[in-house]
């Protein structure tokens, strides 16, 4: 079983220097525009929905860290997102701590859970890895469903407070203000992901993705790297899940069910795997689409999202960002070539 989900499609990714590497100014322009969009989002979109987009964007980035940069498809990331959602809710409810602390606690809980899961899952690769992670996520779901005293069973955790010292009243008064209070956590997560990808550690991950045997021959402990990135990815998913549950004020079994794991993979693939920008783009599209469908009273969102997924996998495997980037790259190359011809 090969595990080269990305390298087989994205053959130009490892060999060609990326667009931003050739034009460093583009990176700063991109970052500036991205930051501006993030800060302006709640002015144009209903703030709770904007918060959902941000949380799902980080969630998708955490999946992409495994899928796009290490070549591992985790189909059980809802376990980490949901574990953090519950842990964050429990910490915030029982200790009355400021919500960022609770979210950090949730992320740590997700990482702790990821250690044994990752240890078992990395023993298999490719499609087996996906199935094993999926099965363990389901185990977490069963436990949450049965452990009613702590998790509230089918009712979930209700009334998670938004505490933030002197600003508690402000962020509770309007989701608009909560967005700005919580967005630093999301941005911190994105920054971490960016740091990981652009570090020597990240290069080793890509090497493992492209050729595990060679990475091993070069002396890298492939399994250890995989476990480490798995735990880091779980932490990012945890940050996102914690913010999500505080924003909604509740954590439910919906956060742990496998369709959530599937949805985040859909968001990642839709945006474009192996591109940190893809996650936010995919998240914005999917969250807005589901919000629109739900508010229009359409019954059967899965019919639409499922069909989109089928089309994406069949026809646009690079995803939106990947397709756009490749298109732009090809256009710039052809322009350069025509200039050189003259």
From residue 191 to residue 230, the character string flagging contacts with another protein as x (rule: CB under 8 A) and all else as - is ---------------------xx--------x--------
Report the b/e string of 152-170 with b at 16+ CB within 10 A.
beeebbeebbbbbeeebee
CB 178 to another protein: min, Å: 31
How many whole angstroms from its chain centre is CA 340? 41
8 lines the binding site for another protein (CB under 8 A): yes
What are residue 157's DSSP bridge partners? 251
Nearest to 251 by CA among 159, 116, 124: 159
Helix (H, G, I), strand (E, B) or coil at 124: coil
1 lines the binding site for another protein (CB under 8 A): yes
Helix (H, G, I), strand (E, B) or coil at 157: strand
Let me know how long the chain is: 342
Q: Which stretch binds another protein (CB under 8 A): 54-62, 178-186, 256-264, 274-282?
A: 256-264
Q: Which contacts qualify for 166-175: CB closer than 8 Å, 24 or more apart?
A: 174/47, 175/42, 175/47, 175/48, 175/51, 175/247
Q: Which stretch binds another protein (CB under 8 A): 53-61, 120-128, 177-185, 191-199?
A: 120-128
Of 188, 308, 324, 332, which lies in the binding site for another protein, with binding defined by CB under 8 A?
Answer: 308
Of 23, 32, 146, 173, which lies in the binding site for another protein, with binding defined by CB under 8 A?
Answer: 146
Of 51, 132, 196, 239, which lies in the binding site for another protein, with binding defined by CB under 8 A?
Answer: 132
Binding site residues, another protein, CB under 8 A? 1-5, 8-9, 73, 120, 123-128, 130-132, 134-136, 138-139, 142-143, 146, 212-213, 222, 258-259, 262, 265-266, 269, 299-303, 305-310, 312-314, 317
């Amino acid at each position: 079983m090969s595990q080269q989900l990305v390298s087989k499609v994205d053959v130009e990714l490892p060999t060609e220097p990326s667009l931003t590497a050739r034009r460093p100014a583009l990176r700063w322009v991109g970052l500036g525009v991205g930051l501006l969009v993030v800060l302006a989002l709640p002015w144009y979109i209903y703030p709770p929905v904007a918060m959902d987009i941000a949380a799902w964007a980080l969630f998708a980035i955490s999946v992409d860290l495994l899928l796009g940069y290490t070549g591992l498809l985790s189909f059980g990331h809802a376990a980490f997102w949901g574990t953090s959602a519950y842990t964050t809710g429990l910490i915030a409810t029982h200790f009355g701590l400021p919500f960022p602390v609770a979210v950090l606690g949730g992320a740590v809980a997700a990482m702790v859970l990821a250690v044994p899961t990752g240890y078992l899952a990395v023993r298999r690769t490719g499609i087996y890895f996906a199935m094993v992670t999926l099965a363990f996520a389901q185990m977490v779901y069963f436990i949450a469903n049965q452990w009613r005293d702590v998790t509230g069973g089918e009712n979930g955790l209700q009334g998670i407070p938004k505490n933030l010292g002197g600003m508690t009243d402000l962020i509770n008064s309007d989701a608009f203000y909560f967005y700005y209070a919580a967005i630093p956590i999301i941005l911190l997560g994105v920054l971490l992901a960016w740091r990981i990808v652009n570090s020597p550690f990240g290069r080793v991950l890509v090497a493992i993705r492209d050729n595990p045997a060679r990475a091993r021959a070069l002396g890298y402990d492939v399994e250890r790297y995989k476990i480490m990135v798995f735990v880091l990815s779980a932490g990012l998913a945890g940050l996102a899940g914690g913010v999500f549950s505080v924003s909604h004020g509740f954590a439910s079994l919906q956060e742990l069910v496998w369709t959530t794991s599937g949805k985040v993979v859909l968001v990642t693939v839709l945006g474009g795997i192996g591109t940190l920008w893809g996650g936010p783009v995919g998240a914005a599209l999917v969250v807005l689409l589901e919000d629109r469908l739900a508010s229009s009273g359409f019954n059967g969102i899965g019919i639409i999202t499922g069909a989109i997924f089928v089309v994406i996998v069949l026809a646009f495997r690079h995803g939106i960002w990947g397709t756009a980037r490749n298109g732009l790259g090809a256009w710039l190359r052809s322009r350069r070539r025509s200039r050189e011809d003259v």
